[in-house]
Chain A
Amino acid sequence: MKNGPLFFLGLFASLTFSFAGVVLFANAQLGGLTPYYDDAEGKSFPERMPGVAERGQLVYRDLGCVSCHTQQVRRPGFGADQARGWGERQSVARDFIHQPNPQVGAMRIGPDLTNLAGRKPSALDAEDLMKLLYAGQGAMPAHAFLFETVKVSGQVPAKALKLTGNLAPASGMAVVPSERAQVLVAYLLSLNTVYDYPESRPFVKAAKKTEGGIK
């Protein structure tokens, strides 16, 4: 490698090639994805995130929740995602098109949260999530710093957590969620990929549906 300029050209071309091949090509394929309009329902999917959930996604990101939780369901039959009740269908790129900060994740120290708000038979409600955040559970650390313990004079605040046992605050005190906790919970309650897009249906199943057998 005596030729310096040729050497640099090689380096430059290699990286440009891989950037074009991986990122730009994927962008050409997926960058123009549009919401899917369903005639029967009369609206498009995925629906936009409420503003409060979008703010909650930022809290989710800055606390690093993504280091333990994924938000991607693998296709039925590949892993036990479906059997664990995380989702009936695989996650697809279209699910994320409205999300400014998608939190796809790569670690499952905790469960997948793609459809947290749509768990069967019963999903956690706001109060359950608040308690879970406040006290932690199992391997999940407590996030008590998202809450304030305030003095109660007169009526107990409506937002105060109903805590019992050794979690209960001292008498005359109440634990109320901060704004960050509230937007985070609003975000968690927005997590539900309900709509079944054409590309999210298993290929084999679609083939079976056609009249007259396969092919």
Chain B
Amino acid sequence: MSTATTEVSAIDTHARVPVLLLLGFGLVWLLVSGVLALMASVQLHTPGFMAGYAWLTYGRTQALQETAFVYGWLGNAGLGLGLWILARLAGSSLRAGNWIIVGGIFWNAGVALSLAGIMAGDMTGHALFQLPSYAQPLLFLAVGAMSVSGVLAWSDRRSEGTYAAQWYVFAALFFFPWILSVAYVSLLASPLRGVLQSIAAGWYAQNLLTLWLAPLALGAAYYVVPKITGRVLPVYQFAGLGFWTLILVGSWTGGRHLIGGPVPAWVPSLAIASASLLVLHYLLVLLNLRGVFGGGGTSMKLLAFGLIAYVGGGLADAVLSIRSISVITHFTYFAQAQQQLALYGAFSVMIFGALYYAVPRLAGRALTSATLAGGHAILIMAGVVLLVVSLGAAGWSQGHALLDPKISYPEIAAATRPWLLGASAAQALLLLGNLMLGVNFALTLSSSLLASTAPVYAPPAKLAASVS
């Protein structure tokens, strides 16, 4: 039993309430965003759906589902796991847990206020930055409060050295308030002139993915993978190079979405060049984390899938941002496919994988249903593949049709409709899968709360090895 006691330590019991609170909030938003995403997807092939309600017109459901997914689900779950990982790697109990709870409540109040504001028509109109101006201070303060715990865990760490997972999580904690406040000032408080807003909004949206969501997901993966395999990460000496490549180069890749637009040509050119340089980061991450392909439980399957999506999506971004391909795919569903591959296939699935590792340890008992966990993993992987393939195919046909002026808009809509139906089916699969996760999480938590005895979870023997 000594291995079990080192696995489920005081760190986890201290972290239990704050971290599970964030994960629980995240799962609620995941389901909300799933319903909204399904609605938005149906509206694309059946425009009459919910068209009578101003607050659910397509322009708004699209903004709603994106906001609920990114800030509600990925934000909550990523921050929760990240703070837990920082505490664990520091080797000391999670401190300032109350700050996480208060921050978590503020954060989720901010997300709820944002969704209500978007329904009422207060969105900013910038992709991935639709948060109404009055909700943003809440999110800013919330992440500040939660970071207190992260800063303490960083400065409290027992060993002088640091691990890759710590760099990534810490960078994410640091970057989010930075980019949010910069975007707030340059887009809302004193907006830049004209098309400069598009450049600033593109910079924010790219950094939200590159410097916030990607580090949170990678931090989780860099922590969980060696824990499960029980081995030191291969070519770990290059993990630092991979990290700094992402931070230094990834931040410049936002202008890809302005190719051919009313901006100076250097904006997209710089982004295309940076996207090519970023290939180094993806290759190093693949080398470091290649242990996930060794097989294992639900966690490992999801992490392996997420890693393929992350690296594959990154390489695809580099190739597809070239102007001669962008002229076809730009402005089409193909761009949505690429975004979903990153947001859902890479970030979300990696977080799912880490969740299956973390929740039993935090709750102090194994997940109630292994069947629900397995079913969730299968539905999510199938859903992501179907979603990305459907949107990609819809976008490819739409892009080619747009290049031929003789093909009218109704003809384009008819040609893409079957693929869009496929995308809706994918959203339904994803929603169903996430319901299974939600039920499993709720059952595990309630059985943990009902149990009067101390935690009884003992991880399988091969998980006991602790290598970071």
Contacts and interface: CB of A to CB of B under 8 A. Distances in A.
A93 B123 contact: no
Interface in B133-172: 154-155, 160-162, 167, 170-171
Given A15-B175, A18-B203, A102-B197, A10 B244 contact: yes
A22 B175 contact: no
B368 to A, nearest CB: 40
A22 B270 contact: yes
B260 A93 contact: no
Contact of B43 (A75, A106, A108, A141): A141
Contact of B58 (A12, A61, A64): A64
A22 B267 contact: yes
Contacts of A101: 125, 191, 197
A104 B331 contact: no
A145 B54 contact: yes
Given A64-B63, A100-B191, A26 B48 contact: no
B194 interface: yes
A26 B263 contact: yes
A139 B413 contact: yes
A126 B131 CA distance: 32
Nearest to A19: B182
A93 B335 contact: no
B247 A96 contact: no
Interface string A1-12: 110100110111
Interface in B167-216: 167, 170-171, 174-175, 178-179, 182, 186, 191-200, 203, 207, 211
Given A31-B193, A108-B331, A92 B262 contact: yes
B182 A93 contact: no
Contact of A110 (B170, B171, B409): B409
Contacts of B124: 61
A41 interface: no
Given A2-B161, A15-B179, A138 B413 contact: yes
Contact of B167 (A7, A22, A83): A7
A124 B19 CA distance: 56
B196 A31 contact: yes
Interface residues of B, number: 77
Given A11-B175, A143-B57, A1 B162 contact: yes
Contacts of B123: 61-62, 64
A106 B121 contact: no
Contact of A138 (B247, B267, B410): B410
B193 A97 contact: yes
Nearest to A143: B57
A158 interface: no
A111 B407 CA distance: 12
Contacts of B199: 22-23, 26
Contacts of B193: 30-31, 33, 96-97
Nearest to B328: A79
Dominant secondary structure at the B interface: helix
Given A91-B261, A102-B198, A107-B335, A18 B252 contact: yes
Contact of B59 (A19, A67, A83): A67
A96 B192 CA distance: 11
B29 to A, nearest CB: 20
A44 interface: no
B192 A79 contact: no
Nearest to A57: B125
A72 B264 CA distance: 13
A107 B330 CA distance: 8
A2 B197 contact: no
A101 B122 CA distance: 13
Given A23-B196, A23-B203, A67-B58, A61 B257 contact: no
B431 to A, nearest CB: 21
Interface of B: 43-44, 47-48, 51-54, 57-60, 62-63, 121-125, 127, 154-155, 160-162, 167, 170-171, 174-175, 178-179, 182, 186, 191-200, 203, 207, 211, 240, 244, 247-248, 251-252, 254-255, 257, 260-264, 267, 270, 323, 327, 330-332, 335-336, 402-405, 409-410, 413
Given A21-B252, A104-B262, 17 more contacts: A1-B161, A1-B167, A23-B192, A26-B263, A62-B121, A80-B404, A83-B405, A85-B405, A95-B194, A96-B195, A136-B48, A136-B51, A138-B47, A139-B409, A140-B47, A141-B51, A141-B58
Interface of A: 1-2, 4, 7-8, 10-12, 14-15, 17-19, 21-23, 26-27, 29-31, 33, 61-68, 70, 72, 74-75, 78-80, 83-85, 90-93, 95-104, 106-111, 136, 138-146
